[in-house]
Amino acid sequence: MITDRITSFLGVAPLLLLVAVGLSIMLIDAFSKDRSGLALTTAMSLFAAAAISGAIAVRGDLVAPAQITRYLAVDQLGLFFDVVICAGAGLSALLAGGYLKEHGLERGEFYVLLIFTAFGAMVLARAVDLLSIFLGLETMSLGAYALVAYRRTSARAVEGAVKYFLLGSFAAAILLFGSALLYGATGHTDLAGIRDAVGSGAADPVLTILALVMILVSLAFKVGAVPFHMWVPDSYEGAVTPVTTFMSVAVKAAAFAVLVRVLAGAFGDEVSMDLFTGWTPVIVILAVVTMAWGNLAALAQSSVKRMLAYSSVAHAGYVLVGLAATYELGPTAVSAVLYYVAAYTVSNVLAFGSLVLMGSKGKEAVSYEDLAGAGRRHPAAAAPFVVGVLSLLGMPPTAGFFGKYYVFSAAVQAGMTWLAVLGVLASAVGAYYYLKVIVYLFMREPAEDAPIAVPMRSYYVAAALLLSGYYVLRMGVTPGRYLDFAISAATTFLG
């Protein structure tokens, strides 16, 4: 039956939808001069993909032909990341709809690149084979390089893009080298086969460890963990703000997804953890230096955009805390990681979106000085900013609070209380620079002759802020529904 044929592809429907929309937008853009609807079309398609993923997860229609599931998992974990990535990308598309128009940068390629980069991120988050991991990573990265370089008349954008491109290519090469070694050590390219080979002791242990180190390095680069974070501040600052938003949420989420799949999935058994001392200490060290350096470097910034870039480095550290607990704690820790990524996505969109809102044609709000007094002149525009930074800081009743709570309590339950304490201390450092935003918004006056940034008027940006603000508060007041999704994704993944 033809309908059976179609429903047998239901598990990958969000991916197929995005490809179809991306190709259609390319065609429409080639024949039409009117670009006013592109942002809305893109955002709606991404939200539709998120909704489809959520519906498939709820209904449990996890079906796809074996040809596909060999390379791309169709499971709750993949669908969870589909929702997070598509929501992040959709909100970024809404921000872009306001921002690009305001600053005269609107071109059709932007939305096509955004959709295909999100597609690459979703492929990466579902990848269960070294081949599809590499392809997803490259699709996502190539799109992201081009998006960072999008405003190519700006020297900063080009600098950020070149740094990201060169370092990213190195990271991809290291991933390839690691994958080749892993294939050599285990004889398998699929993660399940690798897991069996390592678990049965058939794999060469030294070669396996070397391969895992290389794969970890390249994934740590993608999530922006210290000491592989060098590209983050420059490319986040150089990129147009909607792209920065997209990279800090969707690209990072996909990299964490594959970290979970590789570490907790393929290398999550006792045999792997017996190789020397397992990967937990490595992740712990990465988490500690990432939290410490990300927060301390964010303190020293005078640009809010750069501060948010370093803060996204620090947040990668908090997620790594949860990841470090996965071997001891299993699904509970994985669900904490998932919840954190989701909470961080909406909070970060809210903070970056408010930064977009604060500027208008000719004067973009970038530094703390640009924000001085803006809260008193335009209270409505400042409100989302306050909620956003408070959620990034982890204040109740916002999404960020429960994100941090679950991650740190996972660390405590896994017997790493000191790591949780360090995390809380690092967050306390974060309070300084997050609250500084609020201080400047409401308690400072701009310098006499300084140009004053005026908030832009855009339904797109307002919609993105309302949506992300709603979910920041919703996930902070009633986290149960979202946590249940995360728990079911984590349990079915590890179960």
Site string for another protein, 180-199 (x = CB under 8 A): -x--xx-x------------
Q: How far is the CB of 176 from another protein (least distance, A)?
A: 14
Work out which of 2, 153, 270, 449 binds another protein, going by CB under 8 A.
153
Q: Which residue has the tokens 């039409």?
A: 32
Piece of 177-185, 217-225, 287-295, 416-424 that binds another protein (CB under 8 A): 177-185
In the complex with another protein, the residue whose CB is nearer, 63 or 395, is 63
Q: How many residues bind another protein (CB under 8 A)?
A: 42
Q: What are phi and psi of 205, to 5 degrees?
A: -65, -45
In the complex with another protein, the residue whose CB is nearer, 168 or 403, is 168
Task: Please state, as a whole number, how many other Cβ atoms lie within 10 Å of the Cβ of residue 290.
Answer: 28
In the complex with another protein, the residue whose CB is nearer, 85 or 321, is 85
Distance between CA atoms of residues 212 and 177, nearest Å: 10
Burial 371-382 (b: 16+ CB within 10 A, else e): bbbbbeebeebb
The residues that bridge with 360 in the sheet, in sequence order, are 363
Amino acid at 332: T
Distance between CA atoms of residues 278 and 334, nearest Å: 17
In the complex with another protein, the residue whose CB is nearer, 215 or 414, is 215
In terms of phi and psi (left: phi > 0; alpha: psi -120 to 50; beta: otherwise), the region of 188 is beta
Q: How far is the CB of 132 from another protein (least distance, A)?
A: 6
145 binds another protein (CB under 8 A): yes
Amino acid at 237: E
In the complex with another protein, the residue whose CB is nearer, 205 or 278, is 205
In the complex with another protein, the residue whose CB is nearer, 6 or 450, is 6
Piece of 38-46, 202-210, 291-299, 315-323 that binds another protein (CB under 8 A): 202-210
Q: What are phi and psi of 190, to 5 degrees?
A: -85, 145
3-state SS assignment for residue 203: coil
In the complex with another protein, the residue whose CB is nearer, 134 or 340, is 134
Distance between CA atoms of residues 399 and 291, nearest Å: 19
Dihedral sign of CA atoms 318, 286, 494, 4 in order:
positive
Q: How far is the CB of 4 from another protein (least distance, A)?
A: 20
Site string for another protein, 60-89 (x = CB under 8 A): -------xx-xxx-----------------
At how many degrees (to 10) do helices 331-358 and 304-324 cross? 170
234 binds another protein (CB under 8 A): no
Q: How far is the CB of 437 from another protein (least distance, A)?
A: 32
Scan residues 429-468 and list those touching another protein (CB under 8 A).
none
Task: Please state, as a whole number, how many other Cβ atoms lie within 10 Å of the Cβ of residue 13.
Answer: 20
CA neighbor of 41 nearest in space, from 121, 111, 95, 122 = 111
Cβ-based neighbours of 71, under 8 Å, separated by 6 or more = 127, 128, 129, 131, 132
Scan residues 103-142 and list those touching another protein (CB under 8 A).
107, 109-110, 112-113, 116-117, 119-120, 123, 129, 131-132, 135-136, 138-139, 142
The residues that bridge with 190 in the sheet, in sequence order, are 129
Site string for another protein, 9-48 (x = CB under 8 A): ----------x------x----------------------
Piece of 147-155, 215-223, 286-294, 377-385 that binds another protein (CB under 8 A): 147-155
In the complex with another protein, the residue whose CB is nearer, 42 or 391, is 42
Distance between CA atoms of residues 475 and 459, nearest Å: 24
152 binds another protein (CB under 8 A): yes
The strand ranges marked E within 132-189 are none
By the criterion CB under 8 A, which residues form the site for another protein?
Answer: 19, 26, 67-68, 70-72, 107, 109-110, 112-113, 116-117, 119-120, 123, 129, 131-132, 135-136, 138-139, 142-143, 145-147, 149-150, 152-153, 161, 181, 184-185, 187, 204, 206-207, 210
